[in-house]
Amino acid sequence: MRVNVTYSVDLSEVRQLVEELLLKAENNIEDLNQIFPDVGLFLQEQNEKKASEAIEKCRESLSTIAFSLFDCQNMLDGYQQAVLQAKRSELVNNEKTEGNSYVENG
């Protein structure tokens, strides 16, 4: 069973978290690359049961990879939104400061 967990981290930590998830996904891809050729071998050996089991393992790996990539994408989208929001806030604060300076000096 899968469950979504939400927690907050510093903006500077997002890239590292994404890199860690991508590394896990890469390991799953390597596992998949080892299992997938077995499907053909089992079929050649006329061992449909083992072929079916290997296919199931491939499907599970693909699912894990897809979830990891989805999580990475969501984190990076959230990162981009946070950076944009910070830039907008900075611009608004600068405009307010400049506006106050003009009024005070004017």
Q: What is the pLDDT of residues 20-57, one digit of tens each?
A: 999 999 999 999 999 999 999 999 999 999 999 999 99
Residues 6+ apart with CB under 8 A from 55: 39
* Per-residue pLDDT tens digits for 78-91: 999 999 999 998 88
**Tokens found for residue 84:** 């944009």
Query: The pTM is what?
Result: 0.77
User: pLDDT category, 1, cuts 50, 70, 90?
Assistant: confident
| Cα atoms in the Cβ-side hemisphere of radius 13 Å centred on 30 | 6
